[in-house]
Amino acid sequence: MVQEQHRGEQEKRSRFFINDNIDILREILKRLDGPSLGVAACVCRLWCSLTRNDDSLWEHLCFRHVSTASVRAVVVALGGYKRLYMVCVRPVLSRLGESERVRRRAWTRHEVQLSLSLFCIDSYERLGNGRIASDASTSSLMFLCNTINV
């Protein structure tokens, strides 16, 4: 009897399922780079809702070494880290640096400032236009979008 119970417990312990431990999952997802986070969003419904709704996952992506409480307050007020990443950080990084190094490099103060400024203008523009979808770029940031070669 005792042996069976023991084996049962062992089996239970070995069946570790990440989705049961969302805090660990979060810690892992936080450390991913942009494209990987996008891939993660396609894994299952839980992961999808986490990436979509948990803005703190995107914070580390944006200002990995520079984020402070005050920056966080401003970014959250202006639309959140996910939007910041989508409309500002990702295009800025891809234009300014080589993509392989991009994931690992630290932001300089100037890059942070520039991205935040652009993000502000974007947010200000959206104040007047309620109908812009949360992931779409406003016209002030159109210059960052990739052009399509016709």
Partner 1 sequence: MDRTRDRDEAGRQQLGSSSGTSSCGKSNLWKEEGGMDELLAVVGYKVRSSDMAEVAQKLERLDEAMENVQDSLTEHSNDAFYYNPSDISNWLETMLYNFDSHPPEESNKDSASSDYDLKAIPGKAIYDGGVSTTSNPKRLKSVESTSTVVVVDWQENGIRLVHSLMECAEAVENNNLPVAEALVKQIGFLALSQVGAMRKVATYFAEALARRIYHVFPLQHSLSDTLQTHFYESCPYLKFAHFTTNQAILEAFQGKSRVHVIDFGINQGMQWPALMQALALRTGGPPAFRLTGIGPPAADNSDHLQEVGSKLAQFAETIHVQFEYHGFVANCLTDLDVSMLDLREDESVALNSVFEFHKLLARPGAVEKVLSVVRQIRPEILTVVEQEANHNGLSFLDRFTESLHYYCTLFDSLEVSPVNPQDKAMSEVYLGKQICNVVSCEGMDRVERHETLNQWRNRFSSAGFSLIHLGSNAFKQASMLLALFAGGDGYKVEENNGCLMLGWHTRALIATSAWQLAAKSVVTL
CB of 14 or CB of 129, closer to partner 1: 129
> Cα–Cα distance between 135 and 114 in angstroms, integer?
20
Q: Which of 32, 78, 102, 132 binds partner 1 (CB under 8 A)?
A: 78
Does 132 bind partner 1 (CB under 8 A)? Our answer is no
> Cα–Cα distance between 43 and 135 in angstroms, integer?
20
Q: How many CB atoms lie within 10 A of CB 38?
A: 11
Task: Give residues 89-128 in contact with partner 1 (rule: CB under 8 A).
Answer: 91-92, 95-96, 110-111, 113-114, 116-118, 120-121, 123-124, 127-128
Q: How many CB atoms lie within 10 A of CB 31?
A: 12
CB of 1 or CB of 133, closer to partner 1: 133
Does 77 bind partner 1 (CB under 8 A)? Our answer is yes
CB of 49 or CB of 113, closer to partner 1: 113
CB of 3 or CB of 70, closer to partner 1: 70
We find the least distance from the C-beta atom of residue 68 to partner 1, in angstroms, to be 9
Terminal C-alpha separation, the chain: 73
Contact by Cβ (8 Å): 66, 109: yes
> Cα–Cα distance between 142 and 122 in angstroms, integer?
10
Task: Give residues 6-65 in contact with partner 1 (rule: CB under 8 A).
Answer: none
The C-alpha angle with vertex 58 and arms to 106 and 69, in degrees rounded to 5, equals: 75
Binding site for partner 1 (CB under 8 A): 70-71, 73-74, 77-78, 91-92, 95-96, 110-111, 113-114, 116-118, 120-121, 123-124, 127-128, 139-140, 142-144, 147
